[in-house]
Each structure stands twice: as C-alpha cells, then as structure tokens.
Amino acid sequence: LIVETLDTNTSGGVPTSLLVATSSFAVRITVGDDYGNATTTFNSTNQTDLLFTSNAGNSPNGTAPTVPASSVVTFANSVAVATGFNFPNVATGRTITATVANAGAGGNDASPVNGVTGTSAGATVQPGLLGDFVVEKNGGGAIGSVQANTPFLIQVTARDLFGNPMT
C-alpha cells in the first residue's frame, strides 16, 4: 500500500508533507505492486477495512491525535481516501500506517491481501491558529512579587489552540 497525507480533509486534497496542528486532514491509500509502484486495476466491489496507527503524540495541553482506528473504504482504480485525521502536536517525522484488515472482493490479481501495510512519509506538523498568550517571568515560570517602580523582565509566548508554542 502507498499511503499519503493530503492537505485537506477531503478526497480532493493534494499530497503534502506539511500539516497544521489545528486542521483535520485525509489520507489517500493506493494499492501498489511488490515494488511500490501504483496500480490502477483494483476496484473493490465490496468495501475494504483498513486499520490505522500513527506515531503522533499528544499536544502540550494533552489533546490526543485523531486517528480512526479503522475505516471502511471502497477502492476505485486502486485508490481510496480515509478522512478525519488530526495531529495536534508540533513535531517532525509523523507517519500513518494503514493495514488491510478485510480486503473485500476485488476480483483481480491487484487485490490487496489482508495484513498488507503501508506507511506514509514523515510529515512535519506546524502550529495552528492562535489560541492564547502565556505571560511569565523572564526564563519561564510564574511572576513573583515585584516592587513598585522597579523594572522587571517578562516573556510572552504565543500558543496555538493545542498549547504548541508558535514560532
């Protein structure tokens, strides 16, 4: 299987290796030959069950990634799309692995076999929409007592909706 992350949460998205933490995205799964070349001959007459796993972690505020445990898809010309993914933690090298759990009935030699897997290329997740600002003492932490008319330093950090620092 060839697995690609798409830039939107629809089948009309284009492959991308750059994701945004606050945006959902879709995954395109393509049946390939033994050498990783895409085929165009598999059309499932029954739906195919795919299981998904990922190496994405929780965001700083504890939000877990959204990775459907399984998705029932229909392949047309060897391509299917699963939607509803979200990686809330800013990081690099995030992947999705798809595993065929129930291949359905393709009726030809290009049918994926149960247990066949494919893993996407590593994606970079960037911060999403501005969520809040954190005001702390210089270097981090709570601002303690300060004396009137005495200057002191602070640091302000912009964070996205999942608590990821924005750069």
pLDDT in tens, 99-109: 988 766 544 44
CB 64 within 8 A of CB 101: no
Structure confidence at residue 59 as a pLDDT band (50, 70, 90): very high
Q: What are phi and psi of 2, to 5 degrees?
A: -110, 120
Q: What is the mean pLDDT of the chain?
A: 86
Residue 142 has pLDDT above 90, yes or no: yes
The reported pTM is 0.81
- pLDDT score at 106: 47
Q: Exposed, middle or buried, 141 (CB in 10 Å: 0-12/13-18/19+)? A: exposed
Q: What are phi and psi of 66, to 5 degrees?
A: -100, 110
Residues 36-60 have a mean pLDDT of: 82
